[in-house]
Amino acid sequence: MPHEKPSRRVRIPRRTCLIIGLPAVLIVYSLVLGLLPWAMSLVAPRLGWSQTGPSALNVLGLFTVAAGAVGLIWVFSVMLAQLPKLPEVVELDEGERLWSATSRVLITHGPFAFSRNPMFLCGLICLLGWALFYGSILIFVAALAGWTFSNFLKVPQEERGLEARFGDEYRTYKARVPRWIGHPKRR
């Protein structure tokens, strides 16, 4: 029809998703979960630190950071393994942006069997670990703000998109697996 708006669908080859997506994710996560907490620790007092460095309690934060990092590696490896399931050309629906596109594959195993949002969860664990290591209330507040944004805005947006795309399959998964972390309910 002459009055119809042209489709604004974005088509991305699967290979491009990997070539651009993987380095972008690695860079963004490194900046947000590594460089940003360090920079924030420079502008606020480091509680528990002395002239010789961090206290033993602060050092425990590094174990928390390591646990979050290992979790992220697990999440990303499970997600990367799903790449062959994507179509040769990934098409983003109208209204979706590259950073907010709904997943094309519903992953329910690995870390996704314990949390519907393991990527957010592991990132939060890393930030809390850095807050403890640096003894920084500022990093703790940033982690809390990130969780608030994720829990009340981003995750509900993603859940609506997943429910629209996968229907009953996603609703069943959602009823069985907690949003953040916990033991999955039996079917």
What pLDDT, on the 0 to 100 scale, is given for residue 98? 46
Average pLDDT value for the chain: 87
Q: How confident is the model at residue 5 (pLDDT cuts 50, 70, 90)?
A: low
Phi-psi region of 48 (alpha: psi -120 to 50; beta: other; left: phi over 0): left
* Residue among 112, 24, 30 nearest 65 (CA): 30
Cα 59 from Cα 181, distance rounded (Å): 25
84-122, pLDDT tens digit by residue? 887 777 766 555 554 455 677 899 999 999 999 999 999
32-88, pLDDT tens digit by residue? 999 999 999 999 999 999 999 999 999 999 999 999 999 999 999 998 888 888 777
Cα 39 from Cα 36, distance rounded (Å): 5
The verdict on domain 11-94+104-176 having CATH code 1.20.140.10 is: no
Query: Worst-scoring range by mean pLDDT, 125-134, 135-144, 159-168?
Result: 159-168
Residue found by looking up tokens 């907690």 in the block: 178
What pLDDT, on the 0 to 100 scale, is given for residue 128? 97
What pLDDT, on the 0 to 100 scale, is given for residue 100? 53
What pLDDT, on the 0 to 100 scale, is given for residue 8? 63
Tell me what percent of the residues of the chain surpass a pLDDT of 70.
88
The pTM (predicted TM-score) of the whole model is: 0.85
Cα 160 from Cα 93, distance rounded (Å): 14
Cα 115 from Cα 107, distance rounded (Å): 11
Name the amino acid, one letter, at 175: A
What pLDDT, on the 0 to 100 scale, is given for residue 24? 81
